[in-house]
Amino acid sequence: NIGSSTLDCGAFTATDLTVSGTGPHAIGGATSATYSFYLRGSFTPASGAHVYGFRTGQVLTARNGSTEALAVFFSSTIATAGDGATYGDVAELVVNDPTITKNGADIITNATSLKIIAAPSEGLNNRALWVVSGETELQALTVSGTMAALDMAGQIDLNNNNIIAGGTAAFVTAVLLGGADLNFSLNSTVIASAQNGTATIAHSGFTDGNDKLIFFIGTDISAEDSANSGINNSFGVCHVTGSDGGGYAFVQRCMGWASDHGNNDGSPSAILSTEHVLDIVTETGTEDWALEVTAFSSSSNTITVTTRDAGAGANMEVYSLALDLDDRSAAVGSTDG
């Protein structure tokens, strides 16, 4: 026990080193009452191309029966004082902006507060960064490279612009347009074989009175042409305005097309319907495979879709992605007149 004495002995060698005091401790300068351990002072390397303030370089070898191998593990216990104070942050790890002095004509290519150089490749699942649980908030985000398909059962909050998905959605790509929350509902239904057949699709999480934007796609096999052959499809978008109490208005566009459909005008192997602008109630007989949103309800959580066919066809599978636009607006139009 040497109290507060100062040792000036160069290298200090010991088999094991135990410091029983809980601090404050410091290396490179005076202790601080705020920090249990404080690494401080100025350092200039005597040689080499790099300078590091602190580096780990242990060689860890797991023993028989080990189930984890972690180079650095943070797991603290933090208790507040109980005096009614407000804590701006309580965190396990905080990384601040490095105070950088750029001298002379020096050039700094990349300056970061935290940088991950590479990801491991030896595991069944390899990640450079893995958030196991909890919400993740990013104030600003720049993404480059390839993004994998997104399978969400919870929500991502990008500075109060939420993407919220149910666990039944395999993957969804959404573009945020600004504003507050963007809720969406992904569902499907089957319209039985009929001319102008109708069915309803469920939706959830929407607010009565908000604008809705609905993307829908339908496909039927061996449909209503005279040869009963071909794969007929439609794709459209519908902007819904109004409410249950005041009624709804629909502005929509739909495109229909077929493959191996030899019984339409010109008899090509693949054709596009002329229903690019969908304001129809009935058909002319040569424009088929269209799909139209004809009703919406917030109270019953349903979207009504209707096929527009020259004659009864096969069952049509219909898939819809419906967006509640909240405080956003939308416009649906076309350039084909």
Query: Is residue 323 pLDDT above 50, yes or no?
Result: yes
CA contacts within 13 A on the Cβ side of 330: 23
What is the pLDDT of the chain when averaged over all its residues? 75
212-213-217-223 Cα dihedral, nearest 10 degrees: 60
CA distance 31 to 157: 40
Domain locations along the chain:
182-324
* pLDDT value for 107: 93
**Per-residue confidence (pLDDT) for residue 167, from 0 to 100:** 45
Q: Give pLDDT tens digits for 19-46.
A: 888 889 888 889 999 989 888 889 888 8
Q: Residue 166: is its pLDDT beyond 70?
A: no
**Residue 253 neighbours by CB distance under 10 Å:** 18
- Model confidence pLDDT, tens digit, residues 185-206: 777 787 776 667 788 888 887 8
* pLDDT tens by residue, 112-159: 999 999 999 999 999 889 988 888 888 877 766 665 655 555 555 555
Reported as a single tens digit per residue, the pLDDT across 255-270 is 766 655 444 444 444 4
pLDDT more than 90, % of the chain = 22
- Fold assignment, 182-324: Immunoglobulin-like (2.60.40)
Phi/psi for 191 (5° steps) reads -95, 120
